[in-house]
Structure 1
Amino acid sequence: MDFDRTGDQRLLAENALEFARTRLNGSFPQRLAERRFGREEWGLCGEFGLLGASVPQEYGGLGLDALSTALAVEQFARGCRDTGLVFSACAHLLACVMPLVEHADEDTRRRVLPGLVEGRTIGANAITEAEAGSDVYALSTTAIRDGQGYVLSGVKTFVTNAPVADLFLVYAKTDPADGYLGISAFLVDRETPGLSVGEPLINGGLVTSPVASVQFNDCRVAESARLGAEGDGRLIFNASMRWERTCLFAAYLGVMDRQLEEVIHHVRERRQFRKPLARQQSVAHRVADMKMRLEGARLLLYRSCWILDKGFHSDLDVSLAKLAVSEAAIQSGLDAIHLHGAMGVIEDSGVDRLLRDAIPSAIFSATSEIHRDLIARRLGL
C-alpha cells in the first residue's frame, strides 16, 4: 500500500490549494454575514472541477479516482476559508451526482451531468426525515405507482442545498411492506408541481451551507425519473455514502491542516511569562497531539479511499476513517480555542467557527455512535 502522491496528484493538490486561496476567500466575510454562498462562488467550484472531480471525463468531469478526489477536496478546503461552501459542493458531488453517474441511464447522464459538473445546476440529496435520521431507512415518504409514473408524498428534513437546489435525489418507499428493500430513488426537478421547499434553517456551524425541508404533496414524476430498479434505493444510498464518508471528510483534513498552521503561528508569537507560548511544555504537547490526530485520521481516510479504488466495499474501513476524522476535527477545534485563550471565544477571531463547523461532522453521514456500532459488529461483537 503506497500513498506517495504521483506527479499528477501533486499538481492537482497544488492547483486546488492555490485556486481556493486566490479565488474564493475575497467575498467570504459577506457570505458569512448573509449566511449563504452565491451562484458566482458555486460557478468557481465548477470552474476548478470540484463539482465533477470523480465524474468521468465524457460527462465533463475530471475523472478522478476516490483517493485523487480526496486529495483535491482536502487541499481545496485547506485553501478555502468557507467550509460551508466546500461542504455543500461535496454533498452535491458525492451524495447527488455520483449516484447519477453510477445508477442513472445513459440518457439521463448525458442530459443532466454536464450542468451539475459545470455549476449551472445545484443538486441536493433528500433522504432524512423527522423520524428517519439515524434509523435512515424508516422512511414515511412514499412513491406510489400511478399509470406510467409515480406520485411522491412526504416531507424531507435537513436537506443540504435545498434552498438553492435545482435537482433533488429523493428516496421514497415504493413498497412499504418490504421495509428497506422497498425503497427507491428518484431524480426530481425543483419546478415539478407538488414539490415545495421550506424556509432556510439557521445553522450553528457550516453557516454558508443552506439547509431546509422539502415537501412532496402529490408530486407526480415519470417512471424515467427513477434510478435503477424499484427497490434499489438502499444500494444506491449505501454506495453514495461510501463516497461521502471518505472524500467529503477529506475536507476536514484540509481544515485541520490550516487550523494547525494558524495555531503554530499563534503560540510562536504570543508571549506569556516573558517567553513564547510554544516554549511552555503543556502548550507544545497539545499542539503535538493535534498533529498526531490529524495524521492518524489522514492515513485512515487515505486507506479507505485506496480500498474503494480497488473495488472493495469495506464498511469497517469507511467507518474507522469517518469516525477518526470527525472526532479529530472536534478535538482540534477545542484545542485551538484553548490555545488562543479568551480570543478563542471571540466570534470575530474566527477561531471558534472551526469548532462549530466540525461538530456536525459527528452527526451527518451517520453519528459517531452508529459508526462505533458498525465497527463493533465487524469485529464480531
Structure 2
Amino acid sequence: MNFDLPPDIEAMCTALTAFARRDLNGPAHDFDSTDFRRRWLLAGKQGILGATVPEEYGGSGLDAVAAVALFEALGSGCADTGFAFSAAAHLFACLMPLVEFGTAEQQHRHLPRLCSGELVAAHAITESDAGSDILHQRTRADRTAAGYVLNGTKVFTTNSPVADTFLVQAVTQPGGGFFGLTAFLVPADAPGLRVGPPYAKLGLRGSPTAEVHFTDCPVPLDAVLGGEGCGASVFTGSMRWERICLFAVYLGAMRRVLDDTIDFVRDRVQFGSPIGEFQAVSHRVVDMITRLESARLLLFKAAADLSAGRDCEVSSGVAKVAVSEAAVQLGLDAIQLRGALGVTDGVAETLLRDALPARIFSGTNEIQKNNVARALGLGRRRPTR
C-alpha cells in the first residue's frame, strides 16, 4: 500500500496550490461575473477544468486519484472555495458524463472549449419537489418531428447564472422509473431557456446558483446524451465522479484552515503562555488533524476504486459523509479556538459556511447512508440454506 503520489503529480499539485493562491482568489463577499470569467479562463489554461478529460478532447487525461490530489491542491490554494466548487461541478457533473456517454461528434463539439475555460457548464437536475428523489421530476421533454420540447423548472443549479451549456435531465416517459429520464445538452441561448437571479447563499458565495426555467424550449435530436431513457444512467455516472473528486476541494480547504489555526494557537498568548500549551486547545487541534487525515484516506480509497473500475458505491458514500462532516466540525473547532475572533470575518467562519452545504449537495448524508446500507444488502434477509 503506497501512500505517496507519483513525483509528477506531486509537482503538479505544488504548482497548482501556488498558482491558485496567486491568481484564483476573488472577491470575498460579492460575486463578480466578469472576475469569475477572468479566473475561469486562467483555470482552463492551467488544465484544471479538463483534468480528467482525455487529451484528444483538450483535457489532461488524469485518473480519479490524480484528480483528487489536484483538487485538494486547488482547495488549499484558493480561499474562494465557491470558485473551486464551481470548477469541480463543471468537470465532474458535466464534462465526465460527456466523456462517458457522448457521441464522437458531441465530444469534439463541446469538450475542447469546456476544457479550455472558454465555456462554462451546468448540470440542471434538481427540482423543488425532486431533489434526492430524482425519478419524480416534473420537467418534461415531449417528442416532436424535429426533436423535443422542454417545459419545467430546475432549482439550485450550480453555475447557471454564468453557464454557456446546460446538461438537462427531463422526463420523456412518465412513470417510466429509471428509464423514464433523458439527458440533453442545451445551449444557454436556446429559445425558451431563462435563468433566474442568483441565490443569496449561506456559503459557497463564489459559486453562482439559480433557477433555470424552460418554456417550450426546442431541443434537436442530436442534443440527446446517451440515448432516450438513459438520463438516470448519465446522472449516476456523474455522481460517481462528483461524490469523490469534488469533495477533494474540502480536503484542501480544511488543510488551509488547520494550518492557519495551528499558527494562531502558537502565537496567541493568554495567562502568560501561548494557548497551544493548554491541553484543552492542543487536544482539540489533534482531533482536527485526526478527522482530516481519516477523511482524506477514505476519499483517496474511493478514488482508487473509481480509477480501478471497482464498485465504489460503499467507498464513495462513506467518504462523502466523512469529508463533509469533518469539514463542518473542523470549521466549528477553528472558530472555538479563536474565541470572539472566530465569529468575525475570517478563514474559520468562512470554512464553516462553505462546509455546511456539503452535507446536502451530491445527495444528502442521510441519502449516502441509505445508499451504503442498500449496497451492503441491509434490510434484506439472507437466503436460508
The aligned counterpart of 2:365 is 368
TM-score by structure 2 length?
0.96
Shift of 1:302: 0.3
Residue number among 138, 142, 149 corresponding to 1:144 in the alignment: 142
The aligned counterpart of 1:7 is 7
Does the 8 A contact of 1:35 with 1:209 survive in 2?
Answer: no
Shift of 1:379: 3.1
In structure 2, how many angstroms separate the alpha carbons of the residues matched to 1:257 and 1:41?
23
Residue number among 239, 244, 266 corresponding to 1:246 in the alignment: 244
Shift of 1:313: 2.6
Fraction of identical pairs, as percent: 50
* Partner SS, residue 56 of structure 2: helix
In structure 2, how many angstroms separate the alpha carbons of the residues matched to 1:137 and 1:206?
27
In structure 1, how many angstroms separate the alpha carbons of the residues matched to 2:369 and 2:226?
31
Does the 8 A contact of 2:335 with 2:348 survive in 1?
Answer: yes
Does the 8 A contact of 1:194 with 1:216 survive in 2?
Answer: yes
In structure 2, how many angstroms separate the alpha carbons of the residues matched to 1:87 and 1:193?
29
Write the deviation string for residues 217-261 of structure 1: whole angstroms up to 9, x where unpaired.
011110100011211111111111010011100000000010110
In structure 2, how many angstroms separate the alpha carbons of the residues matched to 1:228 and 1:107?
12
Q: Read off the aligned partner of 1:33 and give its amino acid letter.
A: D
Whether 1:354 and 2:359 are equivalent positions in the alignment is no
Whether 1:230 and 2:232 are equivalent positions in the alignment is no
Write the deviation string for residues 296-338 of structure 1: whole angstroms up to 9, x where unpaired.
0000000000010111232111101100000000000000000
The aligned counterpart of 1:335 is 333
The aligned counterpart of 1:209 is 207
Shift of 1:71: 0.4
| RMSD of equivalent CA atoms | 1.1
Does the 8 A contact of 2:31 with 2:205 survive in 1?
Answer: no
In structure 1, how many angstroms separate the alpha carbons of the residues matched to 2:118 and 2:28?
19
The aligned counterpart of 2:299 is 301
Whether 1:377 and 2:374 are equivalent positions in the alignment is yes
Unaligned ranges ≥5, structure 2: 379-385
The aligned counterpart of 2:314 is 316
Shift of 1:35: 5.8
Does the 8 A contact of 1:138 with 1:180 survive in 2?
Answer: no
Residue number among 39, 49, 56 corresponding to 1:58 in the alignment: 56
Whether 1:87 and 2:89 are equivalent positions in the alignment is no
In structure 1, how many angstroms separate the alpha carbons of the residues matched to 2:101 and 2:326?
33
In structure 1, how many angstroms separate the alpha carbons of the residues matched to 2:81 and 2:236?
25
Residue number among 255, 258, 268 corresponding to 2:256 in the alignment: 258
Does the 8 A contact of 1:35 with 1:207 survive in 2?
Answer: no
* Partner SS, residue 175 of structure 2: helix
Residue number among 71, 74, 90 corresponding to 1:73 in the alignment: 71
Of the structure 1 ranges 164-173 and 371-380, higher mean CA displacement relative to structure 2 is found in 371-380
In structure 2, how many angstroms separate the alpha carbons of the residues matched to 1:209 and 1:34?
8
Q: Read off the aligned partner of 1:130 and give its amino acid letter.
A: S
In structure 2, how many angstroms separate the alpha carbons of the residues matched to 1:40 and 1:294?
32
The aligned counterpart of 1:21 is 21
Of the structure 1 ranges 176-185 and 30-39, higher mean CA displacement relative to structure 2 is found in 30-39
Shift of 1:63: 0.7
Q: Read off the aligned partner of 1:18 and give its amino acid letter.
A: A
Unaligned ranges ≥5, structure 1: none
> 4+ residue runs of structure 1 moved beyond 6 angstroms?
none
Shift of 1:378: 2.7
